[in-house]
Each structure stands twice: as structure tokens, then as C-alpha cells.
Chain A
């Protein structure tokens, strides 16, 4: 009797999981397997046949200076994302959590989340206009306060374009991280802050010694999410610069797209995409293991 109940329970679980598994299979696992397959073949995306290339595509990608430059830019991009979106989100979450009037707190929380629900294309258009060299708000503002000499063609400079797009991307993303941080901050026992305040700790000391350590798990989660989001950085870059000028904002995702569709080289595009996916998995697993060990050590 118990066995029959156990079987029907298993069947029920399987039945309930089936729709999700089917969706995952169709939209994740099969494309992933196809991507792996394509990375071992030479194909221009239109020819009726593909030729086996073994590991040639991987060798070509990893010996291509453009890919290596894209990879280094992706690391810079991730660092910017971490500093601006995650750091900014944490700072703002701490500030918003200090607001005692609940409605105001909700209002601020909603306001900062708005950019995150915008499509990346819209974000790209908004920030392209802000950075417009002649009619953009940024250069206009600099001119209005007498700093014309600081006005730049932000998206036209090979030195400034990546940071400029990074700021736009961080603006789009920080609201999401902020909500995670805010939820974690609100779970911190207020008595800790009160006790520290009685002992004479100022706001900065309380933030550094109570809030940040209490957010260990949230920070770990957000760092991993930020890492994965940064690796996927494509939408904002493509809508604002298409990887230019002169490839100065070409991240790995943009490199893969260009290889696939501008150059008709699906094999190397797949190899580049899978390479970055493997890097992401390795780093994420490594980071999680380090975090778990650190947690045990505490």
C-alpha cells in the first residue's frame, strides 16, 4: 500500500514537472546541444551542409586577437558592473532602508526598479540621446555649468565608449540588485543596530560592521548574478554602439554575434559562446565552493 502511494506520488511529481521540463528541453537543452554541435563544424549559416572541424573553431577563436580583446573588455565590463550596479545598488539599499516613512520607502524602491523593467533597446536609445555629442543632455549640462572643455563624443571615443555604455547598463541593472539587498537588510535584527548606536557607532561604522557582514549570502548571490549578467552583456552595447567605435565596446557576446551574422561563421560564433559559458560555469562553481568553505570557516 505504501509502495503504491509512493509510486503515485512520484508519478504526480513527474506529471507536474513535465511542462517545465518540456519547456526547458525545447528552449534550453536542445539549443544548447545544437550550439555544442555547431561549435565542432564549419558552417556559414545558409549552406545546406556543414563540414566537421573538430576543435579548429576553438583554436581559431582562442588565437584570434579580436576574441582575446573582447574577453579582456568583458572582464573590465564585469568589474564596472560590479562596482556601479552592485555597489550602487548596495549603497542605495542602505540609504533607502534608513527611510522610516514606509510609503516614501516604497516609492523610492519602485522608482529605482523602473529602469530594470525597461527593455534594453529602450535603455540604449535613452542613453544614446543623453550621450549625443551635440544635443545630448550630458554635454549640454557640462556646457551650462561652464565645463565645455569636458564635453566629449562619449560614444565616439574609443577610450570613453565602454565606460559610457557600462554606466547605462549599470543604471538598467542596479534596481534589481537593490531589491535583493533591501530585502536582506530588512531581515537584519534591528537590535544589533540599536546596540551599536548606543555604543556610539556612527552610520558608516554600522553599515560597515553590521549591515555588510549580515548581507554575506545576498552579496554572494548578487555577485554571481552580476557576473552572469555581465557576461551576457549584449543588448545595451548593441543598441548603443554595435560594438564600436573600432570594436572598442565589443564584448564576447557581441563578438559571437558579429562572427555569426556579419561574418557568416556560425562555428566560431558557437565556439566563442560556449567558451564563455564554460568560463562562467567554472568561475561560478569555484566562487560558490569558496563561499561555502568560508561560511563553514566562520
Chain B
């Protein structure tokens, strides 16, 4: 009996596991609508982040379009945790999703045919004119060069510093890398934590190392590397990793503590005044202001360049993007939502109700944004560098995060750490 059961299980497994063809349809494929969006429904299911302005923007949209009903499911959907792929592959996922941006995420969904290319929507509705051309260029994430996402906002990463701590120790904003090191050393010797970081959940560690790598290599070289015409084990990039190791070596950054804290914990500690500096996006300060923190005693500056003769610029990256489920049955309603996202009214409403991301849209004169967000807008206008986490494909991004943790815990040399990223990047390409 036992033998018969085992044989039956083996036969069933073999039958399921190894059908004749070398290539088979992936699970869930049968439920997908290969023909693209249909237009048989006037209801929209949207899944995305719960912004302070979400309810207001949904209500305004429904008021403008009484024939369209919107169900906005609040909650982060993540490519890294598999929820985006699962929702899209189910064939009955939301019509629109707000996801983390970038080729390593949206590009993969595009290449798999799970999301709808938006070039035609852009062309027929004049949406391209509403967005920063550089942002639109970066959203051509798929191998076919089409636009697959509408960017909700960008992040601009700078060194935020505590003015009171700086003043108490007679320090000014450093102008170059040596000045930054001197500032850190002075603070460390005075018993102040010079630099805070929280790398446990990876993102924030990537922001810090990304800023240091750009400080060393410059934004042009980083653009080339991320575009595929350079290598992560370039000496200039390795030097960026060495700068992180130097900060730990000099006591400017507690590597163990940075590895123990997550990004949110490190930010909370910084806004409480537990450290002098931190590398975060504008949204951190804007959120702190909304949470009632007196942020007047804080300022920001781009990570100084290693080469003192060149001007420092912040790193930046696409943050969150709207993508359209290719299996949607509400095509015209989706287009109306996309037109709404691109409208000046939407931008104004989000600005008035607590927008913390730098808009991807062209910002009209006179629009009042949170000062930190406005600073981000101005920095983007002047030119910014790149947050590698957004632009690296998934395996290389994972290696990038490993590089951060490896250097923080002193288990990886900067050379080996960057070689690891380059190996994954080369394999991915």
C-alpha cells in the first residue's frame, strides 16, 4: 500500500513537473488578457500608498467623473516582496498600481507583458508636455523603449544636518570631502554622533553609499555605469566604497549601529537630535514637519565632492510610479485617471495636502510646496545624480545592498563589494 502511494505520488509529480516541451506557460498565464486592456467597465480598482492627499484626490476625481466609481485600496505594494507580480499575474488584480519605480521593477513587468505601454495615451492626451522630459526618458523602462509608468514623484537625497549641533561646535557646512571628514572628526571628538544611518532594511544604506560613490565618481560617470557603458569596479566607484569604510574607521559612523537600525529608526533618531547628519530624501524632512517636528533647526547640503574643484549635486531617483494592469477591463476609465494624475489640479491638490515627493510634473510658477520638496524641485532643475538602487536590475541591486552591509560590518572590502555588484550587473546584462 505504502509503495503504491509512493509510486502514485512520483507519477503525479513527474506528470506535473516535466511536461514534454522544454518551455511551458508559467502559472497564471491562462487568466491574463493577452489582447490588452478592454473597455467594458466604468469602475476602477486602484492599489497604492496611503498619502495624506489620497482621499481628497479620489473624491475630486469621482466628482469630475460621476460615471466612474473608484475603489482605492490603501497599502504599499512591493516588487521586492512579490505582491506586484502576484497581483498582476492573477488576471484579476487592480486596474492601476502605485509601485516603486525603475527599470529593475517596472522594466521587468513591462518585458513580461503584464503592464500596458502608455505611449499612445501620452500622445493622444498631451501628457508628455506635462512631465519633465528627463523623467519621461527614464521611464522608458522596457526593452522596447516604450513608456510604462507615470511617475508620482522623485526623491532627492542630500545630507541633512542639525544646525544647532553644528553651531554649538563652531562648524560650518563642509565644502569638500576633506572638510566633511574634518567636520565628522570634530563632532566625534566632542562626543556627538556625526552621521546616522539605518541600513537594516537596505534602502537607506543605499542612499548613503550612493551619495558617497557619486561624490567620488561624479554623476556623469555614474550615469554611464548605470546605462551600461562602465563598470562598478571602476576605481572611482571603489573609492566611494572606501569613503564609507573611512567614515567607519574614523568613528564618524558606527557601522554596527547602522546595520542594526532600519531607515525609519535612524531618521527618528536624527530628528530627535541624536546625531548631527544623515543622508535622506526630502520626504523625510517634509514628513517630520507634518509630524510636528520643529525642522527650522535643520538644513541640507549635497554630499561634498571628493574632488573639491567640482560642484556637488544631490543624488536622485524616481520614487513611485503608476502602472496599468494589462488585463484591465476599464481602459477609458484608466485613461481618465492618468489624465487626472497629469493635471495641474491634481498637482495643486497634492501640494496643498501634504505632498512629500518631488513632483515629476512640470511645476507651475506660484505653486506652494513644502519647503523641503521645493528645494528638491530646484535641485532637480539644476541637475542631479543617480540613486543606484532605482536604476540597477534586481540581482545587481541585491548585490549593491550587500555591498553596503558588507562595508558597514567590515566583512567586505570596498573592492570586493563593488566587484560583487559588477559581477551581478554583467550577468544581468
Q: List residues of chain A with CB under 8 Å of any chain B CB.
A: 33-34, 36-41, 43-52, 131-134, 152-158, 241-242, 244-248, 258, 260-264
Evaluate contact between A262 and B22: CB separation under 8 angstroms. Answer: no
Q: Which of B1-36 contact A (CB under 8 A)?
A: 12-13, 16-18, 21-27, 29, 32
Evaluate contact between A156 and B394: CB separation under 8 angstroms. Answer: no
In the complex, residue of chain B having the shortest beta-carbon distance to the beta carbon of A136? B260
Evaluate contact between A133 and B256: CB separation under 8 angstroms. Answer: yes
CB distance from B244 to the nearest CB of A (A): 14
Interface residue from A48, A133, A156 paired with B32 (Cβ < 8 Å): A48
Q: List residues of chain B with CB under 8 Å of any chain A CB.
A: 12-13, 16-18, 21-27, 29, 32, 80-82, 85, 88-89, 108-109, 111-114, 199-202, 254-261, 265, 269, 274, 394-395, 397-398, 402, 405-406, 408-409, 411-412
CB distance from A283 to the nearest CB of B (A): 19
If A49-B25, A131-B260, A134-B269 touch, whether A264 touches B108 (CB-CB below 8 Å) is yes
Evaluate contact between A40 and B18: CB separation under 8 angstroms. Answer: yes
Evaluate contact between B13 and A47: CB separation under 8 angstroms. Answer: no
CB distance from B429 to the nearest CB of A (A): 15
Q: How far is the CA of A43 from the CA of B23 in the complex (A)?
A: 10
Evaluate contact between A134 and B257: CB separation under 8 angstroms. Answer: yes
Q: Which residues of B contact A131 (CB under 8 A)?
A: 260
If A155-B260, A157-B256, A242-B201 touch, whether A49 touches B409 (CB-CB below 8 Å) is no
Evaluate contact between B82 and A261: CB separation under 8 angstroms. Answer: yes
Evaluate contact between B24 and A156: CB separation under 8 angstroms. Answer: no
Evaluate contact between B256 and A153: CB separation under 8 angstroms. Answer: yes
In the complex, residue of chain A having the shortest beta-carbon distance to the beta carbon of B81? A261
Evaluate contact between B112 and A36: CB separation under 8 angstroms. Answer: no
What are the nearest 5 A-B pairs in CB distance? A156-B260, A245-B259, A156-B259, A153-B256, A46-B112
Interface residue from A41, A47, A134, A244 paired with B274 (Cβ < 8 Å): A134
Q: Which residues of A contact B25 (CB under 8 A)?
A: 48-50
Interface residue from B202, B257, B398 paired with A156 (Cβ < 8 Å): B257
Evaluate contact between A43 and B256: CB separation under 8 angstroms. Answer: no
If A48-B112, A48-B113 touch, whether A245 touches B260 (CB-CB below 8 Å) is yes
Evaluate contact between B409 and A246: CB separation under 8 angstroms. Answer: yes
9 interchain pairs, CB-CB under 8 A? A46-B109, A47-B26, A49-B25, A52-B21, A133-B254, A133-B256, A134-B269, A156-B257, A244-B200
Evaluate contact between B254 and A153: CB separation under 8 angstroms. Answer: yes
Q: Which residues of A contact B89 (CB under 8 A)?
A: 46
Q: How far is the CA of A50 from the CA of B81 in the complex (A)?
A: 20
CB distance from B61 to the nearest CB of A (A): 29
If A133-B256, A153-B257 touch, whether A37 touches B409 (CB-CB below 8 Å) is no
If A246-B406, A263-B394 touch, whether A158 touches B411 (CB-CB below 8 Å) is yes
CB distance from B98 to the nearest CB of A (A): 18
Evaluate contact between A40 and B81: CB separation under 8 angstroms. Answer: no
Q: How far is the CA of A280 from the CA of B85 in the complex (A)?
A: 30
Evaluate contact between B394 and A36: CB separation under 8 angstroms. Answer: no
Q: Which residues of B contact A33 (CB under 8 A)?
A: 12-13, 16-17
If A246-B402, A262-B80, A263-B395 touch, whether A158 touches B23 (CB-CB below 8 Å) is no
Interface residue from B16, B82, B254, B257 paired with A260 (Cβ < 8 Å): B82
Q: How far is the CA of A262 from the CA of B199 in the complex (A)?
A: 16
Evaluate contact between B80 and A156: CB separation under 8 angstroms. Answer: no
CB distance from A164 to the nearest CB of B (A): 9
If A133-B260, A242-B200 touch, whether A36 touches B16 (CB-CB below 8 Å) is yes
Q: How far is the CA of A36 from the CA of B15 in the complex (A)?
A: 11
If A40-B18, A51-B23 touch, whether A262 touches B257 (CB-CB below 8 Å) is no
Interface residue from A37, A45, A46, A132 paired with B17 (Cβ < 8 Å): A37
In the complex, residue of chain A having the shortest beta-carbon distance to the beta carbon of B17? A37
Q: Which residues of B contact A260 (CB under 8 A)?
A: 82
CB distance from B122 to the nearest CB of A (A): 24
Evaluate contact between B398 and A52: CB separation under 8 angstroms. Answer: no
Evaluate contact between B200 and A241: CB separation under 8 angstroms. Answer: yes
If A49-B23, A262-B80, A263-B398 touch, whether A132 touches B112 (CB-CB below 8 Å) is no
If A50-B24, A52-B18 touch, whether A45 touches B261 (CB-CB below 8 Å) is no
Q: Which residues of A contact B201 (CB under 8 A)?
A: 242
In the complex, residue of chain A having the shortest beta-carbon distance to the beta carbon of B201? A242
Q: How far is the CA of A262 from the CA of B88 in the complex (A)?
A: 17
Q: Which residues of A contact B260 (CB under 8 A)?
A: 131-133, 153-157, 245
In the complex, residue of chain B having the shortest beta-carbon distance to the beta carbon of A52? B22
Evaluate contact between A36 and B108: CB separation under 8 angstroms. Answer: no
Q: Which residues of A contact B113 (CB under 8 A)?
A: 48
Evaluate contact between B274 and A247: CB separation under 8 angstroms. Answer: no
Q: How far is the CA of A260 from the CA of B269 in the complex (A)?
A: 33
